[in-house]
């Protein structure tokens, strides 16, 4: 392994985290990363620098850009107001000048983050969008996740590309099913979560009940940093528990006001709210301050505590206060887990490591592929998160899985379906690479001549899995002469990871499609028709479970797998990557098969390599 600045760090070493940044070499304190006056760090902590040489000018610029980035996703249950909140943040950042409205009666405008026809028709987010904007001297990369409960796999992949998350709750509903699922993903990856409780302009659950719901249902400590004054028609605004500010609510953002107060006993509260509302605020806020949890930066960044804000995204109230705090406390780009190893085909990398964002050499991870973002060009775009170094338009990249070298002359950045050339990108940024069928989800790219790995090794970023589907359909084509186009369409849609395509182990023209959620089948048929001019329908398939099958790499393992194939020929299929999959008719059959074949491994997830 080549020894270089912040090179792959052994998995046996202590993990590098934000809490350890004070000891990370080569990260000097700057105006951008010094702690703020209220003690909330705004970026990397200062290192002592005792044993490290002064950074080069190139390193200094890289560290500065890393400290400025915040890459995050939004998680919520459908209808919690995620899309509205997204647009209000984009408005604050100057990225858009007019908020779109889903299903507007007198306008054909649609939400900025919703671009597919089905999304515009149904008012849900089916795909994931990437948007970049500025706020508080920071560059924010927002990955808008699918807003329908069916799309957990695509959402999971998005969450592999973020450093933190913003959880949006409807205060009339509290924690809902989709939020629980997404929280599990965040907990698995120890993603820091900040919570925005939305729709205070409507009647809903008492704030204390909401905090209790979050803690009991999601298993995470809450630390409210703002507190609502009333709700629905009685909603007067919020009180900042951190800044001692009164935020007065109005439906028009231009009429919303901030009022500095000394503390909760300040008579200004009575003047602004009236004596009854002010006394109610004092009682609630003092109760929360005495019995609640103080905000703890280390707990937040470890995913153990969530700071909580209240507001109304529809009227832009509370959004700026939340965003001001978010850019201060959210972590900058973090080291990315990876594996390195020999480049012999079929040999999986075996050495665990992590690549620090301050590493000078460029590297990036493909976490999403989207076909036909521009219907005029029938294109495919690979979404790549920059993990380390600096990307420049025109630089030559090495595709680590294939070893191929390519020059990037048309890389792009995004605003939903809008795109423009990406001249420069830094760790945490998302760029798009044109994909001609050679790039897959989970692929890693580096600079052509990289010092991250030795010349005879490959670098693979990890943690981007496929999930075994739970819903299955058989594809029927209306016009047999369009069979080739059907195959191409299914291949490209499966590359996006929204569906999985299975064909019989020994070949044939039968296609079985699997998905985590059934709405993806509607998306598939709709897109086959609109983007590939293929009229198809889906029929029932006699399967309810799938597992990828692996055998020991030995003669005995080969023989065992051969016997298994002979016995279960009608249940065995290959996926788009050629991996063997066992499709079971029901849970009982799957359990019996697993019990009867203990020498084989049946996997519910598959790492993308």
What pLDDT, on a 0 to 100 scale, did the predictor assign at position 13? 33
Task: Tell me how far the alpha carbon of residue 592 is from its chain's centroid.
Answer: 36
DSSP code for 21: G
Tokens of 399: 């595709």
User: In sequence order, what DSSP letters do the residues of 26-53 get, joined into one string?
Assistant: T----TTTSBPTTS-B-SPPPP--TTSP
What pLDDT, on a 0 to 100 scale, did the predictor assign at position 7? 46
What pLDDT, on a 0 to 100 scale, did the predictor assign at position 557? 95
What pLDDT, on a 0 to 100 scale, did the predictor assign at position 38? 47
Segment holding 180, helix H or strand E: helix 177-188
Buried b (16+ CB within 10 A) or exposed e, 187-212: eebebbbbbbbbbbbeebbebeebbe
Tokens 């630089």 belong to residue: 395
What pLDDT, on a 0 to 100 scale, did the predictor assign at position 378? 58
User: In sequence order, what DSSP letters do the residues of 414-473 get, joined into one string?
Assistant: EETTEEEE-SEE-TT-EEEEE-SS---TT-EEEESS-SSS-TTEEEEE---EEE--SEEE
Spans in the chain with pLDDT lower than 50: 1-7, 9-39, 42-51, 99-109, 115-116, 118-120, 122-128, 343-349, 416-417
Tokens 């990249």 belong to residue: 397
What pLDDT, on a 0 to 100 scale, did the predictor assign at position 591? 97
Task: Tell me how far the alpha carbon of residue 4 is from its chain's centroid.
Answer: 30
Distance between first and last Cα of the chain? 20
What pLDDT, on a 0 to 100 scale, did the predictor assign at position 253? 83
Tokens 């190139």 belong to residue: 58
Segment holding 341, helix H or strand E: strand 336-342
Tokens 């055998």 belong to residue: 551
Q: How far is Cα 472 from Cα 545, in angstroms, rounded to an integer?
A: 8
Q: Kindly report the pTM of this predicted structure.
A: 0.78
What pLDDT, on a 0 to 100 scale, did the predictor assign at position 457? 85
Q: How far is Cα 150 from Cα 167, in angstroms, rounded to an integer?
A: 18
What pLDDT, on a 0 to 100 scale, did the predictor assign at position 3? 39
Q: How far is Cα 587 from Cα 584, in angstroms, rounded to an integer?
A: 7
What pLDDT, on a 0 to 100 scale, did the predictor assign at position 375? 55
For residue 138, list its beta bridge partners: 135
Domains detected in the chain: 67-329 (3.40.50.300), 335-461 (3.40.50.300), 465-607 (3.30.70.3280)
The residues, ordered by sequence, that sit 6+ positions from 10 with a Cβ below 8 Å of its Cβ are: 352, 353
Between β-strands 257-260 and 305-310, what pairing exists: parallel, antiparallel or unpaired? unpaired
CB 510 within 8 Å of CB 477: no
């Amino acid at each position: 392994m080549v020894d270089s600045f912040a090179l792959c760090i052994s998995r046996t070493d202590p993990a590098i985290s934000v809490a350890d940044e004070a000891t990370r070499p080569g990260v000097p304190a700057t105006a951008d990363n010094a702690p703020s006056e209220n003690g909330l760090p705004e970026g990397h902590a200062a290192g002592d620098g005792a044993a490290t040489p002064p950074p080069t000018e190139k390193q200094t610029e890289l560290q500065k850009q890393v400290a400025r980035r915040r890459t995050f996703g939004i998680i919520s249950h459908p209808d919690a107001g995620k899309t509205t909140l997204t647009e209000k943040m984009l408005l604050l950042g100057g990225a858009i000048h007019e908020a779109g409205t889903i299903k507007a009666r007198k306008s054909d405008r649609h939400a900025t983050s919703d671009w597919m026809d089905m999304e515009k028709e149904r008012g849900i987010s089916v795909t994931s969008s990437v948007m970049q904007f500025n706020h508080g001297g920071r560059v924010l990369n927002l990955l808008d996740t699918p807003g329908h409960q069916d799309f957990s796999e695509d959402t999971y992949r998005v969450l592999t590309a973020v450093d933190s998350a913003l959880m949006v709750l409807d205060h009339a509903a509290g924690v809902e099913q989709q939020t629980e699922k997404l929280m599990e993903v965040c907990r698995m990856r120890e993603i820091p979560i900040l919570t925005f409780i939305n729709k205070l302009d409507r009647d809903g659950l008492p704030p204390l009940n909401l905090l209790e719901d979050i803690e009991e249902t999601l298993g995470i400590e809450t630390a409210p940093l703002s507190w609502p004054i009333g709700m629905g028609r009685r909603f007067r605004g919020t009180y900042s528990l951190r800044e001692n500010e009164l935020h007065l609510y109005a439906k028009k953002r231009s009429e919303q006001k901030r009022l500095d107060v000394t503390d909760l006993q300040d008579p200004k509260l009575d003047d602004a709210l009236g004596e009854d509302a002010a006394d109610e605020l004092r009682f609630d806020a003092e109760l929360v301050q005495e019995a609640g949890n103080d905000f703890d930066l280390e707990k937040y960044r470890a995913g153990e505590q969530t700071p909580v804000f209240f507001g109304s995204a529809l009227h832009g109230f509370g959004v700026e206060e939340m965003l001001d705090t978010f850019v201060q406390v959210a972590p900058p780009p973090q080291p990315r887990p990876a594996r390195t190893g020999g480049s012999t085909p079929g040999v999986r990398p075996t050495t665990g490591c992590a690549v620090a964002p301050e590493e000078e050499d460029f590297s990036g991870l493909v976490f999403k592929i989207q076909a036909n973002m521009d219907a005029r060009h029938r294109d495919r775009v690979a979404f790549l998160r920059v993990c380390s170094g600096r990307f420049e338009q025109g630089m030559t990249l090495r595709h680590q899985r294939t070893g191929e070298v390519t020059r990037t002359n048309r890389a792009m950045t995004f605003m939903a379906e809008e795109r423009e050339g990406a001249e420069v990108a830094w760790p945490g940024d998302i760029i798009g690479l044109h994909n001609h069928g050679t790039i897959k989800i989970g692929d890693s790219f580096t600079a052509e001549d990289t010092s991250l790995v030795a010349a005879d090794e490959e670098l693979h970023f990890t943690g981007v899995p496929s999930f075994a589907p739970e819903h299955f359909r058989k594809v029927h084509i209306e016009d047999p002469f369009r069979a080739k186009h059907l195959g191409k369409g299914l291949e490209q849609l499966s590359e996006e990871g929204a569906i999985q395509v299975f064909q019989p182990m020994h070949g044939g023209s039968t296609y079985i499609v699997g998905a985590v959620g059934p709405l993806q089948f509607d998306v598939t048929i709709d897109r086959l028709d609109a983007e590939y001019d293929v009229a198809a329908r889906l029929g029932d398939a006699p399967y309810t479970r799938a597992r990828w099958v692996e055998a020991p790499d030995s003669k005995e393992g080969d023989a065992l797998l051969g016997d298994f194939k002979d016995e279960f020929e009608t249940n065995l299929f290959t996926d788009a990557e050629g991996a063997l999959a066992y499709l079971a008719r029901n849970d009982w059959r799957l359990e019996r098969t697993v019990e009867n074949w203990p020498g084989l491994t049946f996997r519910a997830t598959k790492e993308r390599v």
